[in-house]
Amino acid sequence: MNRFLSCFLGALCLGASAGVAADSLLVDTAGVEQALQRGAVVWDARAAKDYAEGHIPGAVNLGAVGDLFRDPVREDPPAAAAAAKLFGDAGIDILNREVVVYGGKGDPYAYFAARMLEYYGGPHGKVYHGGIDDWKAAGKPLSKEPTKLPAISLQLGTERVGTLWTGEVIDQVRRGGAQLLDVRTAKEFIGQDVRAVRGGHIVGAVNIPYEDNWRDPDTPAKLAAKKVPNKDGMALKSMDQLKALYAGLDPDKETVVYCQSGVRASETAAVLRELGFRDVKVYEPSWLGYAGVLSAPAGDEVFINVGAMLGQMKSLQARLGALEAELSRMRQAQTTR
């Protein structure tokens, strides 16, 4: 019996005892502890600085997953050979070992990291949605000592599992009948917040922002305004509430989830799978890729006003120059006292 099968069978027993579905993609604090006990890899997907300040004992860290697994321009994942080196150098055998991923509470990058395991041919990783915040809140120990697994030679001959790409999505849209879910903000959806060459959304898409999966979608804004003391509102809604949220979608139909570049979509895609949706795919290039094909049908289409944008950039540069000059004057005044 190979190690992955042993871990899987262990998960069946432990999951049943904890009242969690054995094939669940989501784990809680107890689930993380159980995963560590049965030899699973726990992957801290945060930046190296955050990891060094305190992490779950035994967790490994590669650095910020968004920096490692997204092209800085296209924001697409790297080729399989590059991913194999990243995982292999970190000692993470994504094909044969159970992996649990965490970040901060509700962080979509943890879901993106977990999805990257499946993207390259391994089982989809489990996600500790509560992340380091729930771990701390439960009074669990933290470590500042890095965990280093022995490097392995990992061969990945597969990529793009569980995804669709721009040509495929455009074909579906033109044929009609595709079940498309846009998880960006409402302003992005209607073209008021433009983050690509044009704003708007894919024709026929339904808009349910990924934050609506949380008990209080406004928690980040409330935290910034110091209206709440913690991230408790970013916990997932109950399964019944989530079922009601997605009641307008057909769980037996292929569901294509997208956002700006596939990160936020990863969280909702996992939630839909948890709810029993049978065929969930992430449109990997998402709106960034779709918007770049100007002939692709879009709703609420808005094009960037390049002249206005350049004017705003010049204004910001002028303000920055004035601030730097004022700072220089202040420093000179201090040295002459």
Per residue in 52-104, pLDDT (tens digit) is: 999 999 999 999 999 999 998 888 999 999 999 999 999 999 999 999 999 99
Higher pLDDT among residues 251 and 11, named by residue: 251
Given a cut of 90, is residue 317 above it in pLDDT?
Answer: no
- 101-115 burial, b for 16+ CB within 10 Å, e for fewer? bbbbbbbbbbbbbbb
Given a cut of 90, is residue 190 above it in pLDDT?
Answer: yes
List, for residues 152-165, the tens digit of each pLDDT value: 999 999 999 999 99
- 172-182 burial, b for 16+ CB within 10 Å, e for fewer? bbeeeebbbbb
pTM of the model: 0.86
Alpha carbon distance 15, 240 (integer Å): 20
- pLDDT of 98: 97
Alpha carbon distance 105, 113 (integer Å): 14
What count of other Cβ atoms lies within 10 Å of the Cβ of residue 215? 14
Percent residues over pLDDT 90 in the chain: 81
Given a cut of 90, is residue 110 above it in pLDDT?
Answer: yes
Alpha carbon distance 30, 32 (integer Å): 5
| Lowest-confidence pick of 6-15, 64-73, 80-89, 136-145 | 6-15
CA 73 to chain centre: 18
- Are 88 and 154 spatial neighbours (Cβ–Cβ below 8 Å)? yes
